[in-house]
Each structure stands twice: as C-alpha cells, then as structure tokens.
Chains A and B, each alone.
Chain A
Amino acid sequence: MLFGVNTYNPIEDSEYFIKYSNIEPNGVYKGTETVNELVLEGDYGYGDGAAVDNGAIYANEYELTSMGVKLCKVVKIDLETREKTTVINDAELRGRCASGELVISEGAAAKSNNADTNLLCKLYAISGKVNFDKKPVISFYDTEKSQVVFTTEDKTVNEKLFKRVYLDRTLSEVQK
C-alpha cells in the first residue's frame, strides 16, 4: 500500500480501541488516538459490534484462509491478564440489545462468504455446525453470567430489520 493507514475505532465509551494499520500491528489498543499501547495483536472486528464489559473486551476475530474465505468467531479478551478465549466459534457479534446482552449470530458464516458460488465455504461447513442453507441462530449472551441466556432462530432478512427486531429491543421484549 502506498500510503500509511492507521484507523482508530473506539469500543463503546471505553479507553480501548481497535486499530487497523499497515504501520503498526492490528489489534486492540489502550489509550488515545495519539498516545496508546498495544493490548493484544490480531484481526478483530469493529464494524459489526465490539463491547467492553466486566473487565473484558468482546469482539469478532477474523481469519482469512489462503483463498479468501473469511472465518469468524467471537472472542473474549481479559483486560487484566490479556488472555484471549473463544466465546463461540463460527459466530459473529452483531452488537448489544437494549437491555445490554450481546447479540450473536451463531452457526453463521461471515457475510463476505458467498456460499452459492464459493464451494470451499461448503467444505468448511461440513466440519462445523455452520449451515449455509439455514438462517443463523441468534444468541443473547449475558456477560455477567458468562453464558448464553436465550436463543432464537433469526427471522430477519436484512441489517435494518435485524437492528429493529434484536438490537433496539430488550431481551424480555424479544422473548415475547
């Protein structure tokens, strides 16, 4: 790349942010845009929601295969020990619902994977619980209990409807 890229993406209202850069390592940083330190290196997702809760960061971690199939999982980064643990494999964090639980699309392939044409996505799906033919399961993850508290099948067809049905409502409203 000809020019330097150094993007600053704060996570919620915290002092942590996710940096995409071709000058410094990608990853989670602590501090301001100008003065900061690296917390954990890696390709973490910002656009689809990242959260700070109970001394940990929850974010999507992306991994590209050699031919561009994008694998995604939700990870938890402990801010004290700086250890990373997988919360849910083959899943994508989509944000928070109105009552604060994390909304996760489980068993879904990353949106950039085109299962209709890319056969390697299908092969990847065989070894896991990912099913390209079905809609993903939406899980509500309680960060205090560190567990999924409610699951439902995704009934939405696009991002706008997803926001209205899951992110703008509280958990009890979704359960009704």
Chain B
Amino acid sequence: MKFGIDLRNKRTGADIAVIIFQLVSVLPTFYVFVASGYIAILNKRNALTALFDFGICALPRWETLLLSFLYRLFSSEMAPYFVMLLIALALGVASKRVLMGSVKKSMAFHIVFSVFIVADLIIRILPFGFNSQFTLAFNLGAAAVRAVCLALLIADMVAYKRSANTDSAS
C-alpha cells in the first residue's frame, strides 16, 4: 500500500482512518438493535457487550458525549444511535469530498484530524475520568485504534512532503 494524498485512485492513510472511525461508530448499534428485540440481553455479558464497550471507548470523545447527552435527553436508547450512524455517514461523505479536493484543504483535514486524535489520546491519559466506566482492556484497545489512525495520517503527510520535495528538485 502506498500513502500520499495525491494518489487519487488509491486509499490514502486519511481514507483508512475515516473508515476505521466509521466502523467503530457502527459497533455499539449491534448491541442496541439486539436489545430492542431481546431485552434480556441487558442482564447478560456476551460478545455483543464487548463490541459495545469497545465501540463506545473507541469513539471520539465529543461523539461519545453527544451520544450520552442525547440518551439522557430522549430517554430512548434507539434515537441516539441513529444520530451516531448519520454522523458516521456524514464523516465519510464530507471527508471524501475534502480529500479529493484541493491539496490545501486535504492537508488542513489531515492536520485537524490529527489534532483531534492527539487531543483524544491526551484526554485518555489524563485522569478526566468520564470513561472510567469502561474496563482498561477496552480503553487500551481504543487508544491503539487512535494511535493507528494518527500514524496513518502522519505517514500520509510525510509522503506528501517527500513527493512535493521531489517535484521541486526535479
């Protein structure tokens, strides 16, 4: 796989990072959809609960907070997940447009996305505590997901800088 934002027909690091966040956003919905039809699942631990735990932990902080605020607001477990699915969809569509657009906007996307991920990682390390409800294993897994996404974005930006330097030299 080659990285670099000018490779329009190949998946770039930013593309993969967005797909990872989209997949992670979808994970908790499986638990909620099953629970809406089989409420006894709320009193059991199984693979779906692990997916939920990991999915919620691995979501960006603002998304998790929005989800829980909506949950509190509507007293419904279903509505917030539809909102979350829409956010995941919108992120994919918007990022596609930006990444396929001008190089300047694409670089800005890389930088902003990277800053968000770094901020998320810092919040995870600092004892802010609003994710302490989830177990350490899931929190570590979520941190790993963020780290991978950050690495993909940085690799992208490095590849672009190199290709820009090569172009100017030739």
Interface positions of A (Cβ within 8 A of B): 63-69, 71, 114-115, 117-120, 122-128, 131-133
Docked complex: B26-55 residues within 8 A CB-CB of A: 31-32, 35-36, 39, 42-45, 49, 52-53
Q: Contacting B76 at CB < 8 Å: which of A66, A125, A133?
A: A66
A127-B69, A127-B72, A132-B133 known; A118 and B36 CB under 8 Å?
no
Q: Contacting A127 at CB < 8 Å: which of B32, B71, B76, B77?
A: B71
Nearest-CB distance from A130 to chain B (Å)?
9
B58 at the interface (CB under 8 A from A): no
Residues of B within 8 A of A115 (CB): 133
Q: How many CB-defined contacts (below 8 Å) exist between A and B? A: 74
A45 to B75 alpha-carbon distance, docked (Å)? 18
Residue of B nearest to A121 (CB): B133
Q: Kindly list 7 other residue pairs between chains A and B, CB separation below 8 angstroms, not including A120-B71, A127-B65.
A: A67-B39, A67-B77, A114-B43, A122-B56, A126-B68, A126-B131, A131-B132
Nearest-CB distance from B158 to chain A (Å)?
35
List 10 interface pairs A-B (beta carbons < 8 Å), by A numbering.
A65-B76, A67-B42, A69-B77, A71-B75, A117-B43, A120-B32, A120-B35, A126-B56, A126-B64, A131-B129
A67-B42, A115-B133, A133-B132 known; A123 and B31 CB under 8 Å?
no
Residues of B within 8 A of A68 (CB): 39, 42
Total count of chain B residues near the partner, CB < 8 A: 30
A126 adjacent to B65 (CB under 8 Å): yes
Residue of B nearest to A71 (CB): B75
B82 at the interface (CB under 8 A from A): no
Residues of A within 8 A of B42 (CB): 67-68, 114, 117-118, 120
Residues of B within 8 A of A119 (CB): 31, 49, 52-53, 56
Q: Contacting A126 at CB < 8 Å: which of B31, B43, B44, B130?
A: B130
A8 to B132 alpha-carbon distance, docked (Å)? 42
Interface positions of B (Cβ within 8 A of A): 31-32, 35-36, 39, 42-45, 49, 52-53, 56, 64-65, 67-69, 71-72, 75-78, 129-134
Residue of A nearest to B50 (CB): A119
A123 to B28 alpha-carbon distance, docked (Å)? 11
Residues of B within 8 A of A125 (CB): 68, 133
Nearest-CB distance from A25 to chain B (Å)?
19
Nearest-CB distance from B26 to chain A (Å)?
16
Nearest-CB distance from B166 to chain A (Å)?
47
Q: Contacting A122 at CB < 8 Å: which of B32, B77, B133?
A: B133
A117-B43, A118-B43, A120-B77 known; A128 and B133 CB under 8 Å?
no
Nearest-CB distance from B19 to chain A (Å)?
24
A176 to B45 alpha-carbon distance, docked (Å)? 43
Task: Select the residue from B43, B72, B129 with max chain A CB neighbours within 10 A.
Answer: B72
Residue of B nearest to A90 (CB): B72
A132 to B129 alpha-carbon distance, docked (Å)? 12
B68 adjacent to A127 (CB under 8 Å): yes
**The 6 A-B residue pairs with the shortest CB-CB distance in the complex, in nearest-first order:** A127-B68, A122-B133, A126-B68, A66-B76, A65-B75, A118-B42
A117-B45, A119-B53, A127-B65 known; A65 and B71 CB under 8 Å?
yes
Q: Contacting A124 at CB < 8 Å: which of B31, B35, B39, B71?
A: B71
